Amino acid sequence: MRRDVLLIAALAVALMGADAAGDDGTAAPAGIAPANTTLAAVMAAHRKAVGRLAPGVPRTRTEQWNVHLEGLDGTQTSAEAGKDDRNDSTLGPFHRADGTFGGRGWHQNENGEVVLEHGLHQLDDVSDRAVATQSKGVTLLGAVAAPVAAYVVKVAPPGGRIEYLYYARDTGLLVRRDRSVRGRRRITTYADFRTTAGLTEAWHVHTTDGRLENDGDYTMTALALGKPVDPSLLAIPAAKTPVSLSGPRVSVPIKMIGDRIIIPITIAGHTVDFQMDSGASGIVIDDAIVDALKLKTYGKGTGDTAGSYSEGSTIVPSMTFGGVTMTDVQAQSLPFTFWSDAKTPVAGLMGFDFIDGAVMHIDYLDGTLEAIDPKTFVPPAGAKALPIALDDDVPLVDVGIAKAIGHLFIVDTGADRSALFSTFVAAHPGDVVDQGLGDQMVASYPFVTDFNGVGGTVKYRPLQVGPLTLAGIVFPKWLFQGTHDAPAFEADDFDGLIGQDVLRNFDVYLDYAHEKIWLVPNARYNARWG
């Protein structure tokens, strides 16, 4: 079941939901008492407790797990040989996989689409390396008696994730890990430790974010160390797509409403309006539509974007629009509806799983959308290439703001306005000083301080900054929404959004197959900046 499918999604969407308030995982656990030991001694005891692979045993492994997550049962199979690894998970009717092959990370989603990753997110890796080397930001806080008698180590290295590690005082084993993820405390507990070929590992793992419906339970049923691993268990799977086109270049019927791309889609004889949203890492359909169409739902959990909402998964047998057909599409079902105008209720988002299936050409001036076969696509003359990374199933690009460069800006066709996230603003205070318009807007409209997002609202402050540089194109000034107090919406370490207000100045080609977005300045751009 896909997690965090609404990575960012549309900025101007109103849903029923509550703010994702609660324990953000940054505070130290309660009840810490002084410990008569040192960090070095705790880590040495841990290494001794874990042990090491017996001499002569090859560094290969395979694992099998039973999984229960969000009301669904499934399995997970993992294989590792040298530096290559692969994990295959089946949960209900859904399969996904991820791994590392030839030094490159990859993942495959429930609709079969494969992404080669660029390793952009380093929070966890930085923290793991800090623990391994006991470097800056790793400290022994003391000892606790509950929920388990353990020594507590805080992990907060520069550029890393805040974590609290619990090492059992009697065994030295890591029995609990608290992590701060997108504004919530995520707790993982480890139990049923067994020793195989000299290594002691947990055979039972439980995860929770404090909401029972999101709990995960993992039980290892088989472990083999040092045995030969079939190379097919490590290979990157062949990519698939649920998208098929009637020709090499097809027109997609749309309604362009205020630069929002609305697609009327036929499902089981009924027409439902969806918004094309490159900021959504999957496909979303309103749960009322799912119920009306009598589509089966699988699992139930709580997601977070601008706020919290109940979500499940469904399979849509067929979606047709113009010369495009999508078959057996995994989608997220959740409370989702907004009115793009007085006559157009929108009940879903067409994100990565749709956009990845073709090169999508958006003509903002003419209000048209084309889907082009990636095998026949040739970039148009004069197009500016914007390299993208799809690690999170959304296009991530480099953006210059004054003298600063952010590598994790999301190109978001669902966002009415571009945004700067609080982490970027905090990291580059000298480059995001308002150049006048933001302060004027605050003075004129002091009570307009938030916008609607998926599941709730997001607080922001208008900021006029610049120059803005994108694909070598320079805009002297640009008005952004500077978001704050929205960790779930900002999603850890992202820098911001490039929305419709920028994109509308171009013919845009979303070319996921070649990891590019192509920008062709249009008449609107030329009239102002050309």
- Residue by residue, pLDDT tens for the chain (530 residues) are 444 444 444 443 433 333 344 688 889 999 999 999 999 999 999 999 999 998 989 999 999 999 999 899 999 999 999 999 999 999 999 999 999 999 999 999 999 999 999 999 888 899 999 999 999 999 999 999 999 999 999 999 999 999 999 999 999 999 999 999 888 899 999 999 999 999 999 999 999 988 888 899 999 999 999 999 999 999 999 999 999 999 999 999 999 999 999 999 999 999 999 999 999 999 999 999 999 999 999 998 877 765 677 889 999 999 999 999 999 999 999 998 888 888 899 999 999 999 999 999 999 999 999 999 999 999 999 999 999 999 999 999 999 999 999 999 999 999 999 999 989 999 999 999 999 998 888 888 776 566 555 556 678 889 999 999 999 999 999 999 988 766 667 777 899 999 999 999 999 999 999 999 999 999 999 999 87
User: How many whole angstroms separate alpha carbon 430 and alpha carbon 348?
Assistant: 39
User: How many whole angstroms separate alpha carbon 509 and alpha carbon 385?
Assistant: 10
C-alpha distance across the termini of the chain, in Å: 47
Contact call for residues 429 and 516 (beta carbons, < 8 A): no
Q: At 165, which amino acid appears?
A: L
User: How many whole angstroms separate alpha carbon 453 and alpha carbon 306?
Assistant: 5
User: How many whole angstroms separate alpha carbon 298 and alpha carbon 293?
Assistant: 15
With tokens 């970039």, the residue in question is: 379
User: How many whole angstroms separate alpha carbon 198 and alpha carbon 412?
Assistant: 49
- Peptide bond preceding 34: is omega within 30 degrees of 0, i.e. cis? no
CA-based nearest residue to 176, from 165, 162, 161, 186: 165
The CA-based angle 22-280-161, given to 5 degrees, is: 45
Write down the pLDDT at residue 362: 98
Write down the pLDDT at residue 491: 74
The CA-based angle 409-412-413, given to 5 degrees, is: 155
CATH class (in words) of the domain with range 384-528: mainly beta
Distances from the Cα of 481 to the Cαs of 84, 115, 138, 491, 497, in angstroms? 42, 30, 35, 16, 9
- Peptide bond preceding 379: is omega within 30 degrees of 0, i.e. cis? no
Write down the pLDDT at residue 448: 57
For residue 231, give both structure tokens.
């190379």
CA-based nearest residue to 174, from 188, 184, 186: 188
Query: For the chain, what percentages of helix, strand and coil (3-state, to nearest 5) are there?
Result: 15, 50, 40
Write down the pLDDT at residue 187: 95
Query: How crowded is residue 321: how many other Cβ atoms within 10 Å of its Cβ?
Result: 23
User: How many whole angstroms separate alpha carbon 331 and alpha carbon 298?
Assistant: 10
Local structure of residue 136 (DSSP, 8 states): T
Residue 490: helix, strand or coil by DSSP?
helix
User: How many whole angstroms separate alpha carbon 346 and alpha carbon 264?
Assistant: 9
With tokens 């993942």, the residue in question is: 107
**For the chain, how many helices (H) and strands (E)?**
9, 38
Domain spans of the chain, in order of start = 384-528
Residue 13 sits at φ, ψ, to 5 deg, of -120, 135
For residue 451, give both structure tokens.
């916008």
H/E segment holding residue 311: strand 308-321
Distances from the Cα of 350 to the Cαs of 326, 332, 365, 417, in angstroms? 11, 11, 21, 19
Write down the pLDDT at residue 450: 60
Residue 163 sits at φ, ψ, to 5 deg, of -140, 160
- Bridge partners of 269, per DSSP, are none
HSE-CB at 65 with a 13 A cutoff on CA atoms is 22
Local structure of residue 242 (DSSP, 8 states): S
**pTM for the predicted model, two decimal places:** 0.91
The CA-based angle 119-305-104, given to 5 degrees, is: 15
With tokens 């509806």, the residue in question is: 337
Residue 482 sits at φ, ψ, to 5 deg, of -90, 105
- Peptide bond preceding 467: is omega within 30 degrees of 0, i.e. cis? yes
